[in-house]
A and B are shown apart, each in its own frame.
Chain A
Amino acid sequence: MLVYIIRRLMQAALVMVVMSALVFAGIFMIGDPVAMMISPDASDIERDAVRASLGLDKPLWLQYLAFVNAAVHGDFGKSFLAGQPAMQLIFERMPATLELVFFSTVIALALGLPMGVYAGLRPKSVGAKTIMTGSILGFSLPNFWVGLMLIMVFAVLLPDLIPGFPRLPASGRGATVNVLGVRLSLFTADGLLHLLLPALTLALYKGALIVRLARATAREVLPMDYVKFARAKGLSENRIVGVHVLKNIMIPIATVNGLEFGQSVAFAVITETVFAWPGMGKLLLDSILLLDRPVVVAYLMIIVVFFVVLNLLVDLLYSVLDPRVRLESRAT
């Protein structure tokens, strides 16, 4: 097991090296960050001074080596713009994104799993057909459009038309509380209200994915002998579906959700922009626009580590869900 984790971390390190080199070269080719930062009227001397102060006067490979050297010592550089350490900037924004994605995953699971299992149990019912058609909309509608529509309906139209209908907040983050030094809005009523629309926007796609996956797996598991044997044992239908079928369905759901979670955290940019959610995605977008290289590089480094850790967690979850996986790890 330990060997396995170490191997994973080494892979992560390799990906980080390749990634940082690519980003370095990429941003170098796009343009000159200095031009974005100082006024166009500035003299060449001023320009060179800024360039030298940021270390941008050196050749690219030297800049890269300097970065690697600092990064190995835990320093990922300072934002060209804010002057704050890049990592600190990102970590400040991270809880907002994490709680948004977490909340949307919870919604997606709570709605998608029962619907998918139902559609798998009664594939020919009208309800199942409605769910399956709906799920196609769920993952084919573009995210930004869904977000805008939700704002239209729940923050504008319905409250305008129906007196007393709560006007759901459509932008920004609500009140936060400090939990172990991290500011979270999950635990305040106002925070949850603010979370609702952006989380729903993200949850739609995830939920649709879960519905289809749960249905397909349920259809696969139901004709299995062990389900028929469970019936022959005289178990109640609730027990058969809730334990025998569901536990087998959870295995693929865990994998896909793990990947989806990482994907959303890294690239919830669009939803965050639509709802002016102060998360990491918006930071990344702003940093790319302003060619703020240290932030972009640091961001991608974090994402790489995040994905590796997430995959590791999914693997561990696997062994909880599927005893056949557990045996192999015990043998080593």
Chain B
Amino acid sequence: MMAGNELYVATGLIVILIGFATVLVKRNLLKIVIGFSLIDSGTNLLIVALGFYPGRTAPIVNNPDMLANRASLLVNTAKVVDPVPQALVLTAIVIGVGVTALMLAYVVRLYATGKTLDVRQFGRMKW
């Protein structure tokens, strides 16, 4: 059942779920931010795993063996894993950094104004 990359995908999924659990259950703002960070990591892991093919190598042609046709520089597609998810994750990581930075900035300001890190204290605006 667990062939190839399914294990990694499942792991990514579990990390995401743990991240969500942290976000929903923990009261401390910083822990919630860590939860989001976990979600990001899990997502990235899952996406990279989606592109994984067992037995293949990284999509970097540093060896003439990886070429299917040396004259025309065509690469042998059976030798490398899927590079697209890796490219996507590259972008996703950076975006995750940006959002996390902003979230932390918010936490700093929230703490400065509310003198607490308890998320339940920041629910003044409602219904």
Q: Are the chains A and B members of one assembly?
A: no
Q: B residues near A, CB below 8 A?
A: none
